[in-house]
Amino acid sequence: MKIVVLDGYTLNPGDLSWNGLNELGDVIVYDRTSPNDTISRIGDSPIILTNKVIISKDIMKACPALKYIGVLATGYNVVDIDAAHELGITVTNIPAYSTASVAQMVFAHLLNITNGIAQYAEEAKSGKWSANPDFCYWNSPIIELAGKNMGIAGLGNIGMAVARIALAFGMNVLAVTSKPQSELPQGIKACSMEDMLSEADVISLHCPLTENTKEMINSKTLKLMKRSAILINTGRGPLINEQQLADALNNNELAAFGTDVLTVEPAKTDNPLLSAKNCYITPHIAWATTEARQRLMNTAVENVRQFISGEKVVNSI
């Protein structure tokens, strides 16, 4: 059976193996696929895998042999799900593969901000420590996390993993969640968005992107936060109004911002956050640990195997 991977490079730039998929059919892997090439590359293949290549209703109708679309990610907004259901096409995704890695990135950003890791490593290399008369050197506050309030917007798999790590650091966890207080682990307090924003010393965003959450961080909600607060976003870029956040950082209305996601990716060169004060941006790599990508690969192969064998596909949408 023919299997086409439309954009396999980000999952596997060469350090993983496609062998598991090769055992299931005749596989063609494209590193990247432009919109103009999508239909021709799908061709008569009944099975395709996509990460960011958009599969619209028109594309599905132009490829009548198509029976299965595997999304190489948790989010599946790249596929017209209603059209797929209408045309009898199975769609799958890869849930929860990157939970530990994304939670780790939250604290990589947070510890870099509170402890100045990148800053002091560079200053040590530049000779500032060597030129210092004392055995230690620092020129900005170093912040202890124990006893601070960790606010978490969205308590799904990743939000809960972040909460557990925060508790291990001795932080108090305030969560905006639909879960009742009686179902939350000890140490996690459910609260309103307004209370979380105003009480938290650190805020981490883990809610889905919806019409209600789009640009939830804006000039109005930023004013609710402590001026000393640190904001972390490993969720979705559009949760934030980037210009208004940049203004708040530049006006010292927020202490710092760490993010792994932006509204437009790759980052546009004129994105105001690129030049904002105390803003730390990583290029959407929280999910990309070797371990997380291997889990993603394993699940993608298993999804295809279940489909081909006629079993119920656990991760079908």
* Type of residue found at 102: V
Active site residue 236: yes
Q: Which one of the listed residues 86, 144, 265, 311 is annotated catalytic?
A: 265
Q: Give the whole-angstrom CA distance, residue 39 versus residue 61.
A: 10
Active site residue 194: no
Q: Which one of the listed residues 109, 206, 236, 293 is annotated catalytic?
A: 236
Q: Provide the 10 A C-beta neighbour count for residue 283.
A: 11
Tell how strand 26-29 and strand 2-5 pair up.
Answer: parallel
Active site residue 284: yes
Q: Please give the span between the terminal C-alpha atoms of the chain, in angstroms, as a whole number.
A: 22
Q: Which one of the listed residues 41, 164, 284, 305 is annotated catalytic?
A: 284
Active site residues: 236, 265, 284
